[in-house]
Amino acid sequence: MVEKDEMNVLEGETCAFCNKKTLTLSEVERDIPFFGKVFIFSMDCNNCNYHKADVEAVDKHPPSKQAIEVDSEEDMKIRVIKSSKATIKFGRLGGIEPGSSSNGYVTNIEGLLNRMKKQAENIRDEADDKSDRKKAKNVVKKLTRIMWGQEKLKITMEDPEGNSAIISDKTVKL
């Protein structure tokens, strides 16, 4: 499990987007078993709702590419560290790409799948094209079956800076 350390917080900073002094910066150092110490950073603006978060390993890690086959409900508990530079692919269902709005976080497999499911639900509920809505509906169903351990899914994660990892004996380095 992740140890809880003291969080450093700076409030009242100027937000680069709305120019108000409503930005809160926070940083915490955590020791994650089988990975090492990481810094978790975040910026949150109470005025314009800007949010940015990232994870950075204290020790340098080489670029990484890993995969895991998720095949049970128990796999939902597997710890995942994802930096903003990481690319995650969920088989043929889709993925999470790095970019200026990408965030880093510490979660588990279930958290990753729920993020993907939320995106698909938004498309299912808001897309203009009937075909897109149907595809999204099928993705939501498939992700639900995967989370219940009724279907398998291969998840691949690649990080050019090595600040990401899937912490499990089932993880295969590529």
Confidence of residue 5 (pLDDT cuts 50, 70, 90): low
User: Which CATH number applies to 1-59?
Assistant: 2.20.25
Query: Does the pLDDT of residue 168 top 90, yes or no?
Result: yes
Domain limits, the chain: 1-59, 61-174
What's the CATH superfamily of 61-174?
ZPR1, A/B domain (2.60.120.1040)
For 95-153, how does the pLDDT look when each residue is reduced to its tens digit (9 = 90+)? 999 988 899 999 999 999 999 999 999 999 999 999 999 999 999 999 999 999 999 99
Q: Kindly report the number of other CB atoms within 10 A of residue 8's CB atom.
A: 12
Quote the CA–CA distance of 117 and 31 in Å, as a whole number.
Answer: 29
Beta strands 51-57; 105-108: pairing state: unpaired
Quote the CA–CA distance of 82 and 105 in Å, as a whole number.
Answer: 5
Kindly give, in sequence order, each residue whose CB lies less than 8 Å from that of residue 120, ignoring residues fewer than 6 positions away.
94, 136, 137, 139, 140, 143
Kindly give, in sequence order, each residue whose CB lies less than 8 Å from that of residue 78, ignoring residues fewer than 6 positions away.
68, 70, 108, 109, 166, 167, 168, 170
φ and ψ of 43, to 5 deg = -130, 130
Q: What is the pTM of this model?
A: 0.85
pLDDT of residue 2: 40
Instruction: Provide the 8-state DSSP code for 15.
Output: P
